């Protein structure tokens, strides 16, 4: 029988040394997108391999065409226990603009920002070194108390998440048999608030598309040709405006195929979180919600599909004024997907719609910018329920099951390529300033994150 209370107590006793280990990793400048830091990325991977090996994992560094992967395995203490794949990434974002940092981004510190409120500062504290180390330190405390781990664990740490993960899919394909588990654990997410842990059960998918409409063979003088020549800016603007009807619904044929309604009990639980349209929009200087009428802001951002114009360009946009009718106009459009929407079908529907709206003499060309399906866990999944109960035992407020408006491509890759669902649990906060100067991670997030993973490991084994 495992001693979970002993493991939790050991995590408390280990906190200072756990912070020391985290700070060792944070000092490594593993900026994956800049070739100047290639050696640093490898150093971070080597550090993780060494530390995991010291904890009893069979850990190794795996070379890729880019930065290396870290893969580690640990058997369960009992036969037949569940097998999980834990994913995190050791690479970090660039630190520019450096002059906005209050401290050296690679000299992590503990700062007291208010009485009794301490944060860890430095690049990677929240995204994602601090997060992945909560899991590693949970394994350490559990093993030191019980001699083994309650479930079988495979760890995959990536070094290119912040630079588009170019090596990840080939690596998953080549090592599918080794990495396949019952389900995956992903830590690159956050809390609902400082008191309330969260499990993300839904991630919206994404389709990115650039469209270029061409009319005349060259830019034209608007005095000589205005009124007679087709204006691609007018044409494209009209096409984009037609993507939504007066109720806020997307007009593309077949767009809502595969979109399911969120269960009423889940929507009711979201209503208890206290996020109204006014509180959600006031921070950005808005007050009236757009989008589908009759939907709450949480439902719109977590569980409904969207079509958004992210950029539009055409004609003269420099200083001063130029009376020109542009030859071309372009726009970048993204679609967030939910449920079982098919990214390929959405892309083709958009292209067909654009072509159907083109006047004679005008053409359109398209450039794809990525596509991934939505991820939806079963709200009554047994391992989700176990994790929710475990988190609720650790934090002041019960855990909530949320959706996420953004996309985490690795979760889709695990589902599509390895046939695994993912449990998304993390302890970051919205104000952690990830990707920005002065990134931080709450000391409580790190400490109670370790304790939370101990409880989750124990619950998943039960």
The domains located in the chain, with CATH, are 4-203+374-461 (3.40.630.10), 206-259+305-372 (3.30.70.360)
β-partners of residue 368 are: 209
pLDDT at 1: 54
In sequence order, the 6+-apart residues with CB closer than 8 A to the CB of 193 are: 397, 429
Structure tokens, 114? 């208010």
pTM metric for this prediction: 0.85
According to DSSP, residue 251 is labeled: -
Is residue 362 within a helix (H) or strand (E), and if so which, with residue range? none
pLDDT at 415: 87
Q: Of 444, 440, 393, nearest to 15 (Cα)?
A: 444
Alpha-carbon gap, residue 103 to 99, rounded angstroms: 9
Q: Running along the chain, 462 residues long, what does each successive block of 10 average in pLDDT?
A: 90 98 98 98 98 98 98 95 97 97 98 95 98 98 97 98 94 97 94 95 92 97 96 98 97 97 90 89 91 94 96 95 96 95 97 97 95 83 93 96 84 90 93 96 98 97 90
Alpha-carbon gap, residue 40 to 24, rounded angstroms: 13
pLDDT at 380: 80
Residue linked to tokens 């007679």: 228
SS3 112: strand
Phi, psi of 421 (to 5 degrees): -80, 165
pLDDT at 131: 98
pLDDT at 255: 98
């Amino acid at each position: 029988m495992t001693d979970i209370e002993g493991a939790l107590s050991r995590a408390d006793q280990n906190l200072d040394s756990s912070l020391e280990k985290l700070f060792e990793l944070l000092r490594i400048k593993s900026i994956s997108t800049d070739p100047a830091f290639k050696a640093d990325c490898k150093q971070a991977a080597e550090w993780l391999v060494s530390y995991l090996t010291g904890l009893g994992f069979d850990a190794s560094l795996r070379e890729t065409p880019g930065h290396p992967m870290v893969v580690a395995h640990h058997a369960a203490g009992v036969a037949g226990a569940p097998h999980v794949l834990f994913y995190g990434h050791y690479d970090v974002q660039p630190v520019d603009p450096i002059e906005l940092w209050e401290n050296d981004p690679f000299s992590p510190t503990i700062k007291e920002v208010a009485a009794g409120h301490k944060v860890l500062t430095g690049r990677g504290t929240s995204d994602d070194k601090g997060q992945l180390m909560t899991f590693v330190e949970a394994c350490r405390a559990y093993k030191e108390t019980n001699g083994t781990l309650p479930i079988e664990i495979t760890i995959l740490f990536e070094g290119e998440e912040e630079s588009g993960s170019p090596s990840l899919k080939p690596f998953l394909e080549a090592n599918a048999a080794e990495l396949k588990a019952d389900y995956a654990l992903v830590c690159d997410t956050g809390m609902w608030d400082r008191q309330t842990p969260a499990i993300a059960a839904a991630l919206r998918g994404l389709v990115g598309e650039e469209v270029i409409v061409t009319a005349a063979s060259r830019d034209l003088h608007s005095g000589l040709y205005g009124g007679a020549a087709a204006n691609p800016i007018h044409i494209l603007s009209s096409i984009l405006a037609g993507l939504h009807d007066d109720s806020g619904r997307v007009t593309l044929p077949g767009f809502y195929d595969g979109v399911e309604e969120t269960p009423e009990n889940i929507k009711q639980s979201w209503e208890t979180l206290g996020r109204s349209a006014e509180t959600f929009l006031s921070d950005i200087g808005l007050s009236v919600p757009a989008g589908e009428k009759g939907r709450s802001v949480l439902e719109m951002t977590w569980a409904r599909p969207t079509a958004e114009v992210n950029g539009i360009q055409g004609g003269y946009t420099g200083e001063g004024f130029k009376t020109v009718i542009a030859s071309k106009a372009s726009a970048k459009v993204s679609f967030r997907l939910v449920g079982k929407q098919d990214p390929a079908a959405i892309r083709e529907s958009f292209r067909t719609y654009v072509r159907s709206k083109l006047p004679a003499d005008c053409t359109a060309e398209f450039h794809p910018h990525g596509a991934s399906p939505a991820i939806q866990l079963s709200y009554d999944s047994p391992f989700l329920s176990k994790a929710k109960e475990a988190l609720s035992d650790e934090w002041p407020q019960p855990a909530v099951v949320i959706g996420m408006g953004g996309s985490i491509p690795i979760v889709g890759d695990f589902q599509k390529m390895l046939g695994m669902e993912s449990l998304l649990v993390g302890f970051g906060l919205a104000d952690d300033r990830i990707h920005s100067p002065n990134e931080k991670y709450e000391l409580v997030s790190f400490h109670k994150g370790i304790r939370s993973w101990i409880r989750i490991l124990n619950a998943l084994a039960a």
